[in-house]
Structure 1
Amino acid sequence: MTTVDISPLDLDRATDAELRGQYDLAVAAFAVDRPDAPKPDYDTFVGRLRAVPPGVSRQRYWVARRRDRTVGLAITQLSESENDNSVVVDVRVLPELRRQGIGTALLRRALTESPAGGRELVVGRGVTAGGDGELWIRAMGFTVVQRVALQVLTVPEADPALWEVPVPPGHRLERWTGAAPDTLVESYARARGAIHDAPTGDSSYRHPQWSVPRVRQAEHDARRRGVEHRVVVVVHEASNAVVGLTELEIFPGMPDTAVQQDTAVVPGHRGRGLGRTVKAAMMRWLLAERPEIGVVVTNVDASNDYMTYVNHQLGYVTARIMLTAETARGALEFRLGAPGGDLC
């Protein structure tokens, strides 16, 4: 096992040298784990590292160093409400130093110090299928519970004609940034619940139970984090209710990247192309107001053939398959403490 020093990392107080170390680590790791992805510039990387995903109440970091060189990082995330039984972990190690126990030591330290009392499930997400990460999580006793397709829309290479999608008769589009209009927020909250029908494999993840107060809280949280939250909905004219929606976010420090979030259509209104309609409208609106956006990324369950097809119609390309894996915390802690447990 390679001897390393592991310590917490406070990104709010991190020096430029510490952040540069994280950048160099990420560039080296991603070149192996995500060879299809373009190399991020420094400022974009730091923005992504600091970004707290929706639904995460706390995010912490631990850095591994050897002779003052950054060689590894562990991130833990504590989710809210429906997923308050899990702690999400992300571990990365320099490729040339893998299989020497660094990743395992980081995971052990992160689980020991993460304030995750009562959380009995450990979850790993975004693990590239077939890569070093998959080998490691399987060796650590994780079970793969979902396969997720990462899809990327490279705006300069896309044909804008793909986004010229008409609105079906009897419907209209509405859109907003930030807060939903009072006249639509109730039906918008109900429509957000339609995402519960989306496949999630065997994952224990549970989508939020949406209500008007919860929508308002999520909007407040996005503003607090400096996230630009855009929403396009399709309204059924006869009932004046939201029956389809799509959401997109732009995070601080990532000015040229947009993250396409949930898209949902309520039962009884499916089969009319409303998902494609709202996503196309989102692209037209986004590029009219934010022409600097060069890339839009989204995730979709690999078994969701319909949404994958819709995204391809809009210019997305599937970049890679990523895995979500889970294990019982007690079993993992036992394995981490067992002789011969240092496998990465």
Structure 2
Amino acid sequence: MPDLLIRSLRPGDTDAIVNLYDAASARDTNIGPITAAQWTDFVQRPHNQGGQDFRVAVQDNQLIGLAESSLRDQDGRQVRFFKLVIDPSRRRQGVGTALLKELLALNAPDSAVSFQTLAASDWPDGLAFLERLGFLHIESEITMRCSSLSAQAPALSDGIVVERSATPLYLATDVARLHNAAFASDVAFRSYSVAEMEQILAEKGQVLWVVRDRYRILGYCRMECEPGLIWLEQIAIDPNHQSRGLGMALAYGALQAAGVDRGRPAGLNVSSVNGTARSMYQKLGFAIRREVRRYSLSQLDLIGRMAIAR
């Protein structure tokens, strides 16, 4: 594309990024707008490393495209997660392809990296772009909402306690351990260090609940609480203590204490392949709202497909 510049993200790009999201979400509501504060927080998340692998597309001094990108290690497998946001007036002009090529250049040409991204099932432009390049649908993230809890917490064994942590940072070691053990087999898995988990738990709005016995923490529930929404970010149970009702007890205790109602519903994402978790949430009163598909393709296959697509 003539005069198209692809460059690294800069701190001064924030306002232009907000405007880009506004334009994109006006066309595709599943993308959603973002505030300057939310963008800043997102870039500083541990896995984004300050946006060092983010790229932007600029034409005529206007930021018209964005590629969010982070490389994660999944139990020895490297996966580059990415998201493309393109100004609707500049779509079908090669901007997304140009950004994707820059992301490919971040890896060694012969590396065994796979690329993963998400696209809403009702976003035809995004789905068509990915499928044209040969990306395969490997699972879906199911978004669920609840405005009234409809189940009671199960009875727990003697000595098992569900409680909110008053000092989440002190539990970062346990939370990181449980996260890495419980989610190791997930296709979107990313290992967290204790320092990275400390950074997450220190963020505004974070609420941590745990289930424990007399000796150790067996699981946790991490929520992000806002005035109009309670977002259930994660429930992780030690694999050696699953199928004991601990997840249900955690979710019920945390959500009941947070005060779920129509004015402040609870939301979450759950994998389409995790039938056990989805069933638990439905028993609690959660209903499916939308589906976001996860697509994957190896770097070598993507290189070949992009050569064909030119």
Task: Give the TM-score taking structure 1 as reference length.
Answer: 0.71
SS at match of 2:13: coil
Shift of 1:331: 3.0
1:255-274 superposed matches below 5 A = 259-267=231-239, 269-274=241-246
Match of 1:168 in 2: 156
The separation in 2 between residues aligned to 1:58 and 1:41, in whole angstroms, is 17
8 Å CA contact retained: 2:24, 2:88: no
1:272-291 superposed matches below 5 A = 272-287=244-259
The separation in 2 between residues aligned to 1:255 and 1:11, in whole angstroms, is 31
Q: 1:116 to 1:231 in 2, by over 3 A?
A: farther
- 2:21 counterpart of 1:23: yes
8 Å CA contact retained: 1:23, 1:46: no
Shift of 1:316: 3.0
Structure 2 gaps, min length 5 = none
- Read off the aligned partner of 1:299 and give its amino acid letter: N
The separation in 2 between residues aligned to 1:90 and 1:328, in whole angstroms, is 16
Structure 1 gaps, min length 5 = none
8 Å CA contact retained: 1:58, 1:79: no
CA-to-partner distance for each residue in 1:37-95, whole Å, 9 max, x for gaps?
Answer: 8x54645753575362x544463332334445543221111225746622222112234
- Read off the aligned partner of 1:128 and give its amino acid letter: A
CA-to-partner distance for each residue in 1:93-129, whole Å, 9 max, x for gaps?
Answer: 23454333221112113333x3678853242222123
1:1-344 superposed matches below 5 A = 3=2, 5-8=4-7, 10=9, 12-14=11-13, 16=15, 18-31=16-29, 34=30, 40=33, 42-43=35-36, 46=39, 50=43, 52=45, 55-57=47-49, 59=51, 60-80=53-73, 82=75, 85-112=78-105, 114=106, 120-129=112-121, 131-153=124-146, 158-159=147-148, 161-162=149-150, 165=153, 168-170=156-158, 171-176=160-165, 177-181=167-171, 191-192=178-179, 194-196=181-183, 200=186, 203=187, 205-206=188-189, 208=191, 214=193, 216-222=194-200, 226=203, 228-237=205-214, 240-249=215-224, 259-267=231-239, 269-287=241-259, 294=264, 296-336=266-306, 338=307, 340-341=309-310
SS at match of 1:308: helix
8 Å CA contact retained: 1:78, 1:116: no
Decide which moves more: 168-177 or 3-12: 3-12
Shift of 1:282: 1.9
- Read off the aligned partner of 1:231 and give its amino acid letter: L
The separation in 1 between residues aligned to 2:217 and 2:249, in whole angstroms, is 13
SS at match of 2:9: coil
8 Å CA contact retained: 1:56, 1:80: no
Which one scores higher on RCO, CA 8 angstroms, separation ≥ 6?
1
- Read off the aligned partner of 2:232 and give its amino acid letter: Q
Q: 1:7 to 1:149 in 2, by over 3 A?
A: same
- Read off the aligned partner of 1:195 and give its amino acid letter: A
- Read off the aligned partner of 1:168 and give its amino acid letter: L
- Read off the aligned partner of 1:13 and give its amino acid letter: G
The separation in 2 between residues aligned to 1:118 and 1:63, in whole angstroms, is 25
Shift of 1:206: 4.3
8 Å CA contact retained: 1:55, 1:80: no
8 Å CA contact retained: 1:75, 1:110: no
- Read off the aligned partner of 2:84 and give its amino acid letter: V
Shift of 1:302: 0.7
- Read off the aligned partner of 2:161 and give its amino acid letter: R
Q: 1:165 to 1:47 in 2, by over 3 A?
A: farther
Task: Give the TM-score taking structure 2 as reference length.
Answer: 0.77
8 Å CA contact retained: 1:123, 1:324: no
**Percent of paired sites with the same residue:** 19
The separation in 1 between residues aligned to 2:132 and 2:5, in whole angstroms, is 22
The separation in 1 between residues aligned to 2:33 and 2:14, in whole angstroms, is 19
